[in-house]
A and B are shown apart, each in its own frame.
Chain A
Amino acid sequence: MDLVIALSPLLAVGFGGLMLMLAEAFGKPSEEGISKTTGDVVDAGAGRGAELGLGASVVLIAGAVMAVGVWIVGPETLEGVADVAPYLLIDRFSLFFTFVLCLGGAFTALLGGGYLPEHRIDRSEFFPLVLFSTFGAIALAMSGDLLSLFVGLETMSLGVYCLIGLRRGSARATEAALKYFLLGSFAAALTLFGAALLYGATGHTDLVGIGEAVATIGQPDSTVAAMPVLLALALTLAGLGFKVAAVPFHQWTPDAYEGAPTPATAFMAAVVKTAAFAILLRVLLVGFGEERLMSWGTGWPPVIATLAVLSMTVGNVVAGRQESVKRMLAYSSIAHAGVALVGVAATIRSTEDATASVLFYLLVYTVSTAGAFGALILCGSRGAEAVSYEDLAGIAKRHPAAALAFSLFLLSLAGFPPTAGFFGKLYVFQSAIDSELYVLVIIGLVNSLIGAYYYVRVMVYMYMREPVPGAPVAKPMSSGMVTSAIVLAALLVLGLGILPGVSLDMAIAAAARGG
């Protein structure tokens, strides 16, 4: 019974997904707007996007609530937890991520519930896919073993491939899905290869065992060879670097983000990235947490730091050159991955504080970016989507609330106080200073300045520009679900910005039990 309680968030999302799948298959098509585009098969879920989206978000919020419940009960007190270890580790670290992932998934479901009907994308399997993908993401964040890691990674990714290619009629979406699929398989193969090397070198698939085996290298009676471990580390970093969209493993990001329906983009930016960071932290700190591999000279911290610098710089610099807002947000997500990597690199000294800062940053980023994509969705309607900066010109007059919300999320992404993004960046940079990574912090701050430019540019267009006469402009849509998602995100962005204490304490508690 303990185990059921402990696994309740995961089980809820999984069973919710199954139920939703059946509901989608057996439900009656909505009278209005029965799709003609689904080919031969009459799609039973046709026109039911809003209902299914609501169901999915309820399931995901239930998952988040259950994660909070388990947190309050305390995973340490549940004895059954040991039965599934190390395949699934139920500790505060994974519970924190479960909460964040469920939250991100819920935002996606709410956004999808408004977006899909508005844009006549009658693919109701969107919602079961979101649930299964989130399921995989949670499993990934919980996994403490290379086997479950891979299964979780693939479960998460497969759903996302489909989500991207949801608009079957659109060549761009298909291309995006195919690209992500090909490169994603490649990255998964790299991860798998690394896992195989690790198993070969150490004889373990669980991260703790691997960590212990790696620690024996150099001792006289050690049977573990150093080279496969190092190669495995490189391969794992490349594979997970792909999922978090760190430069130079980032190039799929703008194409996939742009081609995907916007809710799916939000999902990729929020959920996939967060889950990948969860497992990256776990693998690096547990599997490769050995002193020699965590040293500044020879281990992974300099690599992570380099990736961080590249990601921040390339992400921000290129984001400034984009004409499409969605693409700009894609590059901004690369830059944010860079900032989070700064926190990962900072684990070198003050491990727990730095881990906590990454956790908090991911929470903040999830909320802010989901909100930003939500606001982008709200700003456009069918036939008058908000794509380029020009589309958004003068939107503040046409829909002040949407413009205000969008500005709030952009400010949070740019890291202005008193929004959540400010504290996220503050804690990451603070932990980097504690680890004496001053150069990283300086580069990060310079990048924040560059970043502010293109975020503010959106606001300039929204508030200070008038649309060019005759040019297409975005017409805001109206959807209760999108609005509620935005309101929730805005409350969180402000709440986390004004009262960062509670969630930061939780992140610290999570980090203490994650490392």
Chain B
Amino acid sequence: MGMDGLFSIFPPEDFTLLCVILGLPLLGAFVNGVFGKRLGKEAVSLMALVAVGGSFMASCAAFFMLMQRQTETEAARFVWHGWKWLDISGNGDFQIPIEIAFSVDALSGGMALIVTGVGFLIHLYSTEYMAEDDGFHRFFAYLNLFIFSMLVLILGDNLPVLFIGWEGVGMCSYLLIGFWFTEEANAVAGKKAFVTNRIGDFGLLVAMALLVWHVGALDWQGIEAGANNLLTPIKIYPLGNGVPAWLPDFIRGPLTPEDPRGVRVTAATLVGFALFLGCAGKSAQLPLYVWLPDAMAGPTPVSALIHAATMVTAGVYLCCRMAAVFVLSPATMATIAIVGLATALLAASIAFAQNDIKKVLAYSTVSQLGYMFIGIGVGAFATGFFHVITHAFFKACLFLGAGSVIHAMHARIHDVDRSQDMRNMGGMRNFMPITHLTFLASCLAIAGLPLTSGFFSKDEILFKAYTSTIATPQVSDGEWIDRSTQVTWPAMQAWTPPEDLGRWIYTLALLGAVMTAFYMFRLYFRVFWGEFRGWTIVRGWVAPAGGHHGHDDHEHDSDEPLDGPKPHESALQITVPLVVLGVLAIFAGGLNAHAFFHSHLFDDWVAPVLATASSSVGEIEGAKEMMMPLLLPGIGAFAIGVGGAYWVYVMQRGEPAASFVEKVPWLHRIVYEKWRVDELYEETFIGAVDTLGDMAVWVDQYVVDAVVARVTSFAVAASGTILRTMQTGRVHAYGAVMVAGLGALGWFFIAPQAVVTVLADDDSGVYSVTASPGLGYQYRWDEDGDGELDSDDFGDKARVDVQLGRSEVRLVQVEVKNALGFRSIEQIGLFRPQRDGASDGLAGAAQEAKEAADSAAKSQKALQDIQRVLQQAGGNLPGAGKQPAPKPVGGAP
């Protein structure tokens, strides 16, 4: 059978097929990037298409091989080990090898299919869409490079490799947003995406460091195997010393008598928050979503591929990947769900007021990503991931459809903003039937028409939000001892979310669903229905001299009414991807149609991979029976949203919307201006950073530059000059310096070196004093501290042990004689500190602390006393400082 042949060529433990999947796009990027200019457009598009198409075929093969091997309970996983990259020292005495390794399993295999498949369609689309652009080869080189980076991200077998891909897609995104870098706005948008993502990347790096420390592994299997180590409690001091009492325990943490400060969380929570910060940056969640709408400044296929279908879902993918870590922390899970919900609602509300067709889609993407995170946050990892896939289909289709419309608008309107403004569109269904039908299909899917893909994925998320529960992990079995402070803590309980959280999420998400249906159909009706508003259509219109213009010479069209031809349907390269994606948008839901067909192919497919995580996720009683009751409001939301849009924009021709704007202009303005979040960031964070920057500049200018830099540079320069004068060029001077150096060396060896080290044992009071060994050295000692050397003869004894009582001071002397008979004396003062209560160690101090607390009876003073006693106990650990040696009282030679 063919499959066996495949397995013999690509054995699962050395799965070189991954190199093919990864290598082809890289090859394409290389060829197009280096030789693209000389190859010509046909060759460039062929190269790019073959690269991604080949990668897609290989992904399919890998996928089928996975299907062959995967069983209901056991996940199949094919690995290719590249080479060992580096070793990281772990917590303890072992090395964590980091390999360049790639693996494919149900999760990554599915994602790879989407990336290469949708990627292929978008490549195909771009060959037409970008046909007249000067940077054609550059565009495809970037696009191929993006596919490669995305595949590295998905297929990487450990976090560092994923991080390479993570940064790679970020870079490609940056390059492609700024593709028309001559435009100021694009450059700014690229920069914004870059900076925002850095914040997220910081979180990812922190997460990696924490994982190295607590789990001791960075590869998927290692993390999953060692995830339970993350249940270690950790004490953090987010608010410094004083924690206000009115803060909830969730933030403040449980107080203990030993140390009232700080919050105890599990390592899982820290790692979870850090990881989620990374995901929020890449997947455009609150508060880091601001870059994504601006990123629409890039070419439309880029918006479809990177900023809707693939890259932005990387955060969701990572959450599924690390599901075993996330479920250990209910606090993180709840945070993810709430952030997702807030993002979904906020973005949907902004989408109401936008007129730019791509902006609406951009905010809808942010909103849908929010839904995916709701799924993750309630523990429905498979469902959240399924929404990634359906969203990839319908959102890519929507963007490409929008691109098709914009393409048509370019026949007469070349200004970017105006060609994308839906106030200039209308009635497009008459001119562009294929675009219209596919766009409608996708709109229905995203709005949640029953039986479309969006319906099954979104409503499943809502259902899971209502019914899922996350088991509270057992953090520590009993008392545990903090390694750094040696303080014993009582058992710790993880935070448990309130019971009705799920219900709230369900309800609000339902509201979001209404909003989604409304704004999507507002878009649809305004673009495709009604009268065409772009220009006056003239039969047999002929373009004036100069013809069609490229993107880089946007003439700014005047506001005068234009004449122009009938907008026309796009070419085959554009419509074919649209049709494919539109069909998928409608029917892909069948893979996971719990509601009517009880089909759960997709859930079963990824279940083995998510098995560890899923074991912590339960459901409330009677969940099965709630399916239909919970579904009906979802269908209602669709009906209300679409019906509302139809009533406002078709029946009333937009009158209600206009009058609403007139009545409450401030509300419209603030929504139109995106709740002024950008301005808020501008004023707060960026402003603060700017102020900080100004201060730093000031300090730099007047303190560092003026004083520090001048002084140090002067010192360095001056010493350089002085030393340079020693470089006389005279050979006898050089010889003399050498001899002087030799003399110094010789002197060092001839002079006796009496160097003493002390090893103190505070408990027994034995201080052992060791004189450095030296060739031919002999020693004599004054152990008893009477100032007289104990013996007249030198001996070989290089170490003495001195018994000291509490608070005793003793001056020990040693005289060293070297081989030439030269002598040297060294004195060292020993001191054993007094301890209150004379009991030994910290246990005594803690005992005392308790007594002090009892006697001082619950007052603030008690706390202070405890702190003081503990500080003393901790601060005066056994030590023997070199005392300023008092003058020897005679006797010393």
Contact = CB atoms under 8 A, between A and B. Distances in A.
A and B form one complex: yes
B136 to A, nearest CB: 26
Contact of B738 (A218, A248, A254, A290): A248
B745 A291 contact: no
B572 interface: no
Contacts, number: 127
B774 A314 contact: no
A296 B820 contact: no
Interface string B738-772: 10111011101110010100000000000000011
Contacts of B774: 292, 295, 297-299
A510 B850 CA distance: 58
A290 B775 contact: yes
A297 B723 contact: no
Interface string A291-328: 11101111100110000000000100110110000000
B720 A298 contact: no
B724 interface: yes
A345 to B, nearest CB: 14
Given A186-B735, A187-B738, A499-B85, A231 B775 contact: no
Interface stretch (A29-37, A99-107, A177-185, A377-385): A177-185
A501 interface: yes
A226 interface: yes
A394 B737 CA distance: 40
Nearest to A219: B796
Contacts of B773: 291-292, 295, 297-298
Contact of B723 (A218, A233, A298, A317): A317
A499 B191 CA distance: 31
B720 A321 contact: yes
Contact of B720 (A179, A226, A317): A317
Interface string B161-185: 0000000000000000000000000
Given A318-B720, A501-B85, A292 B746 contact: no
Interface residues of A, number: 50
B727 interface: yes
Interface string B824-849: 00000000000000000000000000
B741 A226 contact: no
Interface string B786-826: 00000000001000000000000000000000111000000
Contacts of A190: 742
B820 A227 contact: yes
Contacts of B733: 251
Interface string A240-267: 0110000111011011000000000000
B702 interface: no
Contacts of A255: 727, 729
Contact of A230 (B86, B717, B750): B750
B742 A235 contact: yes
Nearest to A183: B734
B824 to A, nearest CB: 11
Interface in A263-294: 290-293
A237 interface: yes
B161 to A, nearest CB: 14
A131 to B, nearest CB: 29
B749 A297 contact: no
Interface string A177-205: 01100110011001000000000000000
B721 A321 contact: yes
A88 to B, nearest CB: 29
Nearest to B86: A501
Contacts of A234: 742, 745-746, 748-749
Interface string B79-93: 000011111000000
A291 B777 CA distance: 13
B775 A298 contact: yes
A238 interface: yes
B86 to A, nearest CB: 6
A242 B737 CA distance: 11
Contacts of A23: none
Nearest to A317: B720
B688 interface: no
B719 interface: yes
Interface in A199-228: 214, 217-218, 225-227
B731 A179 contact: yes
Contacts of A320: 716-717, 720
A229 interface: yes
B776 interface: yes
A298 B755 contact: yes
Contacts of A450: 716
Contacts of B86: 500-501
B746 A296 contact: no
Contact of A226 (B727, B744, B819): B819
B30 to A, nearest CB: 17
B738 A186 contact: yes
5 contacts: A218-B777, A249-B738, A252-B734, A295-B773, A318-B727
Interface of A: 178-179, 182-183, 186-187, 190, 214, 217-218, 225-227, 229-231, 233-235, 237-238, 241-242, 247-249, 251-252, 254-255, 290-293, 295-299, 302-303, 314, 317-318, 320-321, 450, 499-501
A-B pairs, top 7 by smallest CB distance, nearest first, are A297-B772, A226-B776, A297-B755, A298-B774, A226-B819, A248-B741, A321-B720
Interface of B: 83-87, 716-717, 719-721, 723-724, 726-727, 729, 731, 733-735, 737-738, 740-742, 744-746, 748-750, 753, 755, 771-777, 796, 818-820
